Amino acid sequence: MLFPDFKQAGVPEIVSVLAVSGLLLLLINYVINYLPISLFKGSRLAEDTELRPLSVIICAKNEEDHLTEFLPKVLSQDYPEFEVIVVNDCSDDNTENVIDEFSKIFPNLRKATIKEDPYYKHGKKFAMLVGIKAAKYKHLVFTDADCYPATTNWLKEMSKGFTPAKEVVLGYGAYEKRKGLLNKLIRFDTFMIAVQYFSATVKGKPYMGVGRNLAYTSDLFFKERGFSKHYHIQSGDDDLFVNQVATQVNTNICLSSEGITYSMAKTGFKQWNIQKRRHLTTAPLYSSASKMRILFNYLSQYFFYLSLIPLTFSVNTLLLIPILLLLKIIGQVLILNNASRRLNERDLLAACAVYELILLFIYPIFQVSKLFYKPNSWTN
């Protein structure tokens, strides 16, 4: 027999039930944490046609090359009234001169400079606070020095997310498409994380955003006392702040392909590991509901794949493995199809199950590596 006959509750029958249960649990996870954004109509939860004056804030530490290449793309946005504040945070390269030269061409470029203090060491959050306090307008848009907008309409798309009720706008910060498996893994990881926080926001349960493409009002920032609750954590200027202040009422999303920002992904596993373990240090400070949502996502994936292993021990259950994997892949592709199109990540869909499985092997490495992480400076 190719399948258990279920006339008795033997080992083949038990492991078969566990494997099918694992598939159902994984599909439930996909429906809860990934499907909402694919079913969502439009580009925003709410939209306003008023193009409010904006302050774009970029923190830069030794970023002369990235600013030279990407800052003009930010300054050249097709938007009626905006300023760009670049916070030069103790750079010892040519960052300040780059900013000064561009300010001769772009009158809306402003510079805030932080000098090195031998008695006070600070992280990126202090630089962001300097930028926020220097902002002329109350509607703030954040990106990193190594990022660039997909189009000249980036600010228009993000600005439409601000309404009288919406004070936080979550955008998509993608990575450039390059050759190689590592690039696809980084992009797939970023895409899946984005699908989750966009879906959670659609359901009225926002829990994070990314600083590569994020907007909120200075009124909200100061009302919530900024980064005071997690200032001691090196990271978290984006996800922890959003986790702290975002609600069903005040948070919006921007799913327009014209509102995406791009940056260059790490080209080596070691650099990616450092980036990931720095980001993972913020997870313990998420709200309990946020942590449970993330935990359920990963546990359902691990449970499904682990439940397939006992099926290899019997001829009667061996055929179930490709059947369950095929059903899993079909469900995953159907659920992610619309989201991948909207976020311009269609090329990741064909091998999404492979990328997911590889990431499940890699994530424990990140978690163990995090235990030995000793941050000494801020990075994007």
pLDDT single digits (tens) 259-280: 999 999 999 999 999 888 877 8
Token pair recorded at residue 269: 């596993």
Token pair recorded at residue 149: 């907008």
Where in the chain is CATH 3.90.550.10?
42-282
Provide the 3-class DSSP secondary structure of residue 88.
Answer: strand
196 within 8 A of 33, measured Cβ to Cβ = yes
pLDDT digits (tens, 9 = 90+) for 180-189: 999 999 999 9
Token pair recorded at residue 273: 């590991």
pLDDT at 372 over 90: no
Residue ranges of alpha helices (H) inside 8-94 are 11-33, 35-39, 64-75
Lowest-confidence segment of 7-11, 63-67, 228-232, 239-243 by average pLDDT: 7-11
- How many H helices and E strands in the chain? 14, 10
Fold classified for 42-282: Spore Coat Polysaccharide Biosynthesis Protein SpsA; Chain A (3.90.550)
Listing from the earlier edge strand, what are the strands of the sheet with 261-263? 147-149, 261-263, 173-175
The radius of gyration of the chain's CA atoms, rounded to the nearest angstrom, is 23
128 within 8 A of 222, measured Cβ to Cβ = no
pLDDT digits (tens, 9 = 90+) for 77-125: 999 999 999 999 988 899 999 999 999 999 999 999 998 777 777 889 9
